[in-house]
Amino acid sequence: MVEKTIDLRSVRKIVSEYSNVHDSNLIAILQQTQDEYGYLPKQALKEVSRLMDVPLTRIFGIVTFYSQFTFIPRGRHAIKICTGTACHVKGVNDVKQKVKEQLNVVEGETTADYQFTLETVACLGTCFLAPVMMVDDRYFGKLTVDTVTDIVDRYSGDNT
């Protein structure tokens, strides 16, 4: 996937708040950078390296050591579809297939417009609502192929 061009002003502002180059500061900068962009764009890491005069290899070393960091662009909204037993029994496979077709992605992928990232999880802990999915931090239960389409439509094209 070709990395989209990012606005580097945000990472410059983050770095400007730190004066010392310690690993703990680097981690904090990387966390804030990921919060800002939703992932760690390579352009942003190069900018951190340049501004803090830290070798890029050292930054990559930190990023790859901690599992909280990701190089993969994420969508504005995270869709998590439960594929646990209760949801499976209640027909989540049809729901999941509908979402995949609607967004033209498979599990783990982000849509071309960066609006959604689709994931599956083992159990969302709300089996009584099966089949269930979450969009960001909101639960949607007793899904059907029709209701899930409406829900995804609601989040499409918004700027929340």
Among 40, 87, 103, 143, indicate the residue that binds ligand FES (CB under 6 A).
Answer: 87
Using CB under 6 A as the binding rule, whether residue 70 contacts ligand FES is answered as no
138 bridge partner residues: 135
Among 11, 45, 79, 84, indicate the residue that binds ligand FES (CB under 6 A).
Answer: 84
Q: Which is nearer to ligand FES, 64 or 93 (CB)?
A: 93
Give the chain's radius of gyration (CA, Å): 19
96: helix, strand or coil: helix
- The interface region with ligand FES, picked from 19-27, 53-61, 82-90, 108-116 by CB under 6 A, is 82-90
Cα separations (Å) of 144 from 49, 66, 153? 48, 38, 14
Which residue type does 60 have?
Answer: F
Using CB under 6 A as the binding rule, whether residue 64 contacts ligand FES is answered as no
Closest approach of ligand FES to the CB of residue 98, in Å: 17
In this structure, are residues 102 and 149 in contact, taking their beta carbons and an 8 Å threshold?
A: yes
Using CB under 6 A as the binding rule, whether residue 85 contacts ligand FES is answered as yes
Among 8, 27, 127, 151, indicate the residue that binds ligand FES (CB under 6 A).
Answer: 127
Using CB under 6 A as the binding rule, whether residue 59 contacts ligand FES is answered as no
> What ranges make up the beta strands (E) of the chain?
77-82, 116-121, 133-135, 138-140
Among 134, 22, 152, residue whose Cα is nearest residue 81 = 134
Q: Which is nearer to ligand FES, 48 or 99 (CB)?
A: 99
- Contact residues for ligand FES, defined by CB under 6 A: 82, 84-87, 123-127, 130, 132
